[in-house]
Amino acid sequence: MDIKLLFLPVFVSFGFSFLNLLFYGIGRNIRKYLSIFGSLLVLISSIYILKYSVALHSSTLPNWENLSIFFAILISAISLFCIIYSQWYNPSANFVYDSLFFLFTGSMLGVVLSGSLIYFYVFWELMTISSFFLVLYENTEESKNASIKYIVMTGAGSIFLLFGIIGVNFIEKGIIWKHLFFFSIFIGAGVKSGLFPLYSWVPETYPSSPTPISAILSGLASKMGIYAFIKFYFTIFQPGWSIAWENLMIITGMITLLSGVLLALIQHDIKRLLAYHSISQIGYIFLGIACGTSIGLCGGLYHLLNHSIFKSLLFLGAGILIKMTHSRELEKYGRFSSILPFTFYTFSIASLSISGIPPFNGFVSKWIICQALLEKKTGISIFAMIISLLGSALTLASFIKVLNDAFLGVGKGEIKEKINERTPLIIIPFGFLALGCIVFGISPSLVINKIFSPIIGSIPTLNIKLINFISFWGYLSILVLFAGYIYLSRQTRKFKEKKVFVGGENIPKEITDFDGSHFYKTVYETNGIKDFYEIERKGLFDSYRISEKLFNFSSRISNKIEIFFSDVIYQKGREIILFITEKFRTFQNGLLPRYIFWIMAGLIFIMEVLKRW
Amino acid sequence: MILLILLLPFLGAFLRKFFPKRFSLFIATLITLIEILLIFYFVQITENVYEMKFDLGGILFIYDDLGIIFSITSCFIAFLIFLYSFGYFKEEKERDYFSFWGLIFLGSMLGVIFSDNLISLYFFWEIAGLCSYRLIGFYREKEHLLKADKAFMITVAGAGIMFLSFAYIYSITGTFSLSEMKGISVSPFVFLLFFIGVITKSATFPFHTWLPDASVAPTPVTAFLHAAVLVKIGIYGLLRIFWKTLTVEGNIVWALYLCIFSSLIAGIVALIENDFKKILAYSTVSQLGFLITGILTFNNTGISGSLIFYIAHALGKGGLFLTAGLMEKVFKTKDITKMGGVMKNMPFLTFGYLFSMFSVIGIPPFAGFFGKINIIMGVLKNHLLFAGFFLIISSILTLLYLWRTFKYVFIFENATSNFDFNYKGSKIMTFSILTLGLFSFLIGIMLFFVKGGIFGY
């Protein structure tokens, strides 16, 4: 395989990044086309390298070339949609933004396409640095804090990953070595993808970065952690090399899933909410991969693909709402379905997908993950499956809140900026992404045969007939949905208001009407869950803040140690020397006889020495 | 002829007397430039000769591959520092002193590099200490002089103990000449005596406290101390005597762990410090611990990592210190929490600082990364798993405190007062910072593409 040609998308991306820097003076209109054209070219070159995909040679391991190409096409497609959208969202963006965007995309492509680990790490760090500047791009107070948190956490994570990469050569030296290297890789990949105790940068960074960047960060960059983890776990450490780690991974995935979705339930900020959902979905993906079986890997990868599609769609949709109201608060939205029907439909498709409602893609992948967990047949994995079902239900609850608050609902949103959603810059990305949600949902057997079988090999235990049956059901339900669309498109444009009478008394609207977010206060006040929220509010899950405190504490102690040693070595040494010289001063008191005495004594001493020699 | 490289700084320092005072800095810059060209010239004409020996009044001097690496790095950094001080000492009369003592300083470093003789090595070693004493107490205020005293006393005491080890070596081998004693093994006790000299000069725990205190000196001086000359002498001595010449018979893992402990403790202390130059000074202590750890592995990977990291640290830390000096001039303070908004106003400086920072943290493809990865691999090769892990922790600490400085100085904006970012002479200062940053990038790229970045495998 020609390694140079495999890097073609990376070269194209970096080339356009450089072009944007070179022609920094050209107008916004030309740059718009340059960027879209460049991104399209990246996608074409990613599809072009498909011809380097190789036939399956092993039935148990993932096939690296094909996995890389799968990731490359996913990355270039999503980033194409994001850059089309970003021409509408951020029309005044300067050349730095576009250049960094291509650098970011190119480095992600480099991460997945590089064969050697040192290239992998170089691109990994480039990805971290370029995304840091993209997060910082808006230069608000919030984004400054968030970007520092982001770079510090992911930077520390990637140094841990570096230790794992170095460890590849030393893995056979002992069992403690293996555990420590696995721990490093777990931390490194976990920070990037946002696993349970390490996700605290996620809910800060996604909201404060520009919306297309949050879509990419959530849809693609967090998947790089998963990719790195698959890469190390399935080749260097064989799956199942340690039962303890496997159980720990399933537990981590479970907690990530549940804590993400529980925290998402009480959010008011739409992007923060989506960020917490992103954490929870990563938990699903991680559960699938932690199984270590081919069906688990298939489920994980399928969910990864689906999550990239619907999460970027959700973020882009949120961007429209933000741009319209200049606010991220859900309370400021309401009844936008009449103004933004297209956004409403696509957003609801994505919401249903993320909650795992049957005809859409989220359902299929969650199904496969649940099956993988069941096949594991350990107590923890069965429990994890139950938790994942619960998580799915809570996700649906959360997204009903969003749909209700933003598009339907009682409140009336205040429109600060008029939005025309009927531009190709919105319709193309939204349309394709929503189509992806449907297509990957109703034809799972096709997707598994065409995309995942070349990567993973045969999946013996996967009941493809059952999934086919469900997809048939899905075709049917699409018809129902289409009918529903025709019905809804009439209904959603008008809002009916009914007066409320209690005991013949007309109750004012303010008392009877509630926002969705008010409704979810009951969730907050439920016993048991409330304790969880209280612990979170105290910041006990925030690994950043905890380690900051820890470091401050240890630096005070180290300072003490340092001052102590400085005293002992320098000050005490100085004092001792001064003390001795003080004593010597008594020898010379300025009287001549004493000097003569010392001279005589010295002479006698020297003569005595010479005599004996 | 090759003696010219050694003698030129001393000659230049006294030649300065014959010219008007305002030319002194110019002469110093010119001499370092000639020095660089001379070294390049001699490397060119003696392509396959790895060792050149020459005589000066009966004392033998030697110039080999190790010397070439150290001398070229020191001269290059010194050149940029002299260039930088055109901007820094713009309004001060002491630039004359600085160019004199700076040249002597550089000359003593070259003397240590060229020495084939323990006595002459000791001689130049002490001259460097003397120069550091004069330069740390540059403004001759009482507090500064006390700190200069401290630096001088600690390094001289260390050198005295080191001289005991030279005497010990003489009693074993019967000669002071390094090329004659090659291959002889000594006991760990001799190594300990010598090592005390190294860690006092190279500022490692517990003898490091003079280095953060020395940050009271003007910035070109601190850059000289940290990047170009002083602390690197100890490293050179260790490499020259215990890698090139002698071998140690016995276990010296304790020294390695001491360096790692020093690296960790200095990194942690740097996290709560607010003085820009003190943070960087603690960072130097931390990185030096890292570097000496790499040497003490005594295998190919670790040593080559240390050599790369020596170059990377000289370039990177030079860039960081020079930036700190410029910030000091702009904000009239050293407290990082009172600075802010530089990223917006000085984009080129930001690039220079970032590149230097990445190199010191160890982000690929900057030069520091290849140093760090080789050092850690060298440590792991010696079956020291937890030592390697602690080195990883140390680089995470580096990342934390350097991004902290970047956050306060460059990203956050200080709304309380307006600053004049157009400091007179900031152009030439920015130029030297940017050059240092670009060189750490270029060297990293070169290592990455030419050699693959990993050595000894």
pLDDT tens-digit series, residues A328-367: 888 888 778 778 888 888 888 899 889 888 778 888 888 8
CB pair distance less than 8 Å for B399 and A125:
no
Substitution target in B150, B211, B265 with the highest count of A β-carbons within 10 Å is B265
CB pair distance less than 8 Å for A552 and B271:
yes
Closest-CA distance, B222 to chain A, in angstroms, reads 21
Average pLDDT, chain A: 84
Closest-CA distance, B442 to chain A, in angstroms, reads 15
| Residues of chain B contacting A121 with CB distance shorter than 8 Å | 364
DSSP state, residue A221? I
| Residues of chain B contacting A551 with CB distance shorter than 8 Å | 268, 271, 400
Q: Which residues contact A454 (CB under 8 A, 6 or more apart)?
A: A53, A56, A63, A66
Report how far apart the first and last C-alpha atoms of chain A are (Å, whole number). 83
Query: What pLDDT was estimated at residue B50?
Result: 57
| Residues of chain B contacting A174 with CB distance shorter than 8 Å | 385
State the Rg of chain A over Cα: 31
Comparing A516-525, B38-47, B196-205, B370-379, which segment has the lowest mean pLDDT?
A516-525
Domain total in chain B: 2
Q: Report whether pLDDT(A57) > 70.
A: no
Of B363, B392, B457, the CB nearest to A125: B363
DSSP state, residue A238? P
Chain A residue closest in CA terms to B411: A144
Q: What is the mean pLDDT of residues B401-410?
A: 90
Query: What pLDDT was estimated at residue A80?
Result: 92
| Residues of chain A contacting B396 with CB distance shorter than 8 Å | 155-156, 159-160
Q: Report whether pLDDT(B204) > 90.
A: no
The domain boundary residue, chosen from B250, B285, B308: B250
Instruction: Mark whether B309 and B233 lie in a shared domain.
Output: no
Q: What is the mean pLDDT of residues A573-583?
A: 85
Q: Which domain holds residue B449?
A: 251-457
Q: Report whether pLDDT(B77) > 80.
A: yes
Instruction: Mark whether B156 and B270 lie in a shared domain.
Output: no
CB pair distance less than 8 Å for A152 and B361:
no
Domain map (residue ranges) of chain A: 1-238, 242-495, 543-612
CB pair distance less than 8 Å for B364 and A125:
yes
Q: What is the pLDDT of residues A316-328, one digit of tens each?
A: 999 988 888 888 8
Output A13 or B94, whichever has higher pLDDT. A13
Substitution target in B360, B396, B408 with the highest count of A β-carbons within 10 Å is B396
Percent composition of chain B: helix, strand, coil (DSSP 3-state, to 5): 75, 5, 20
Give phi and psi for B274, each to the nearest 5: -110, -15
Q: What is the mean pLDDT of residues A113-134?
A: 89
Chain B residue closest in CA terms to A120: B364
Closest-CA distance, A161 to chain B, in angstroms, reads 10
Of B154, B265, B268, the CB nearest to A551: B268
Output B128 or B414, whichever has higher pLDDT. B128
Chain A residue closest in CA terms to B445: A122
Instruction: Mark whether B234 and B258 lie in a shared domain.
Output: no
Query: What pLDDT was estimated at residue A103?
Result: 92
C-alpha to C-alpha distance for A346 and A315, rounded to whole angstroms: 12
| Residues of chain A contacting B381 with CB distance shorter than 8 Å | 170
Instruction: Mark whether B285 and B216 lie in a shared domain.
Output: no
C-alpha to C-alpha distance for A194 and A218, rounded to whole angstroms: 10
Most confident of A231-245, A478-492, B349-363: B349-363
| Residues of chain A contacting B361 with CB distance shorter than 8 Å | 155
Contact B346, B330 (CB under 8 A): no
Closest Cα to residue B219, out of B282, B136, B150, B154? B136
Number of H helices, E strands in chain A: 28, 2
C-alpha to C-alpha distance for A185 and A179, rounded to whole angstroms: 10
SS3 A23: coil
Instruction: Mark whether B232 and B271 lie in a shared domain.
Output: no
Instruction: Mark whether B256 and B235 lie in a shared domain.
Output: no
Instruction: Mark whether B255 and B241 lie in a shared domain.
Output: no
Q: Does A179 touch chain B (CB under 8 A)?
A: no
The domain boundary residue, chosen from B200, B219, B250: B250
Output A493 or A99, whichever has higher pLDDT. A99
Query: What pLDDT was estimated at residue B390?
Result: 92
Output A87 or B48, whichever has higher pLDDT. A87
Query: What value of ipTM does the predicted structure carry?
Result: 0.91
Of A166, A184, A552, the CB nearest to B377: A166
CB pair distance less than 8 Å for B209 and A570:
yes
Q: What is the mean pLDDT of residues A541-568?
A: 84
Of A122, A148, A162, the CB nearest to B411: A148
Contact A123, A110 (CB under 8 A): yes
Q: Report whether pLDDT(A490) > 70.
A: no
Q: What is the mean pLDDT of residues A166-180?
A: 86
Structure tokens of A248? 């720990």
Q: At what angle do helices A141-167 and A543-566 cross, to 10 degrees?
A: 80
Per-residue 3-state assignment (H helix, E strand, C coil) for A391-449: HHHHHHHHHHHHHHHHCCCCCCCCCCCCCCCCCHHHHHHHHHHHHHHHHHHHCHHHHHH
Chain B residue closest in CA terms to A165: B373
Question: Which pTM was predicted?
Answer: 0.90
Check residue B187 and give left, alpha or beta (phi > 0: left; psi -120 to 50: alpha). beta
Angle at A175 between CA B452 and CA A183, to 5 degrees: 65
Percent composition of chain A: helix, strand, coil (DSSP 3-state, to 5): 80, 0, 20
The domain boundary residue, chosen from B227, B250, B273: B250
Query: What pLDDT was estimated at residue B252?
Result: 86
Q: What is the pLDDT of residues A82-113, one digit of tens each?
A: 999 988 888 877 888 889 999 999 999 999 98
Q: How many CB pairs under 8 A join A and B?
A: 103
Q: Does A431 touch chain B (CB under 8 A)?
A: no
Q: Does A147 touch chain B (CB under 8 A)?
A: yes
CB pair distance less than 8 Å for A163 and B388:
yes
B55 strand-pairing partners: B60
Query: What pLDDT was estimated at residue A512?
Result: 64
Q: What is the mean pLDDT of residues B247-267?
A: 89
C-alpha to C-alpha distance for B209 and A574, rounded to whole angstroms: 14
C-alpha to C-alpha distance for A177 and B88, rounded to whole angstroms: 50
Of A148, A151, A562, the CB nearest to B209: A562
| Residues of chain A contacting B400 with CB distance shorter than 8 Å | 152, 156, 551
C-alpha to C-alpha distance for B305 and B292, rounded to whole angstroms: 10
Output B423 or B88, whichever has higher pLDDT. B88
Closest-CA distance, B244 to chain A, in angstroms, reads 27
Residue entry with tokens 């050209």? A26
Comparing A463-472, A584-593, B152-161, which segment has the lowest mean pLDDT?
A463-472
Structure tokens of B340? 């802010």
Peptide bond into B206 cis (omega under 30): yes
CB pair distance less than 8 Å for B380 and A170:
yes
Instruction: Mark whether B156 and B202 lie in a shared domain.
Output: yes
C-alpha to C-alpha distance for A271 and A135, rounded to whole angstroms: 14
C-alpha to C-alpha distance for B429 and B87, rounded to whole angstroms: 6
Band (pLDDT 50/70/90 cuts) for residue A555 is confident
Instruction: Mark whether B240 and B285 lie in a shared domain.
Output: no
Q: What percent of chain A has pLDDT over 70?
A: 92
Instruction: Mark whether B371 and B330 lie in a shared domain.
Output: yes
Q: What percent of chain B has pLDDT over 70?
A: 94
Give phi and psi for B420, each to the nearest 5: -95, 105
Q: Does B140 touch chain A (CB under 8 A)?
A: no
Band (pLDDT 50/70/90 cuts) for residue A420 is confident
Q: Report whether pLDDT(A412) > 90.
A: no
Q: Which residues contact A217 (CB under 8 A, 6 or more apart)?
A: A131, A135, A205, A206, A209
CB pair distance less than 8 Å for A569 and B206:
yes
Closest-CA distance, A19 to chain B, in angstroms, reads 19
Instruction: Mark whether B65 and B144 lie in a shared domain.
Output: yes
Band (pLDDT 50/70/90 cuts) for residue A1 is very low
C-alpha to C-alpha distance for A149 and A393, rounded to whole angstroms: 32
Q: What is the largest CA-CA distance in chain A?
A: 131
Closest-CA distance, B96 to chain A, in angstroms, reads 32
Closest Cα to residue B5, out of B53, B37, B30? B37
Q: Which residues contact A555 (CB under 8 A, 6 or more apart)?
A: B268, B269, B271, B272
CB pair distance less than 8 Å for B376 and A163:
yes
Contact B130, B153 (CB under 8 A): no
C-alpha to C-alpha distance for A148 and A329, rounded to whole angstroms: 24
Strand-pair category, A505-506 with A501-502: antiparallel
B60 strand-pairing partners: B55
Q: Does B383 touch chain A (CB under 8 A)?
A: yes
Average pLDDT, chain B: 85
Give the helix/strand (H/E) hosting B206: none
Q: Which residues contact A539 (CB under 8 A, 6 or more apart)?
A: A545, A546
Q: Is the dihedral of CA B235, B238, B243, B244 positive or negative?
A: positive
CB pair distance less than 8 Å for A554 and B268:
yes
| Residues of chain A contacting B395 with CB distance shorter than 8 Å | 159
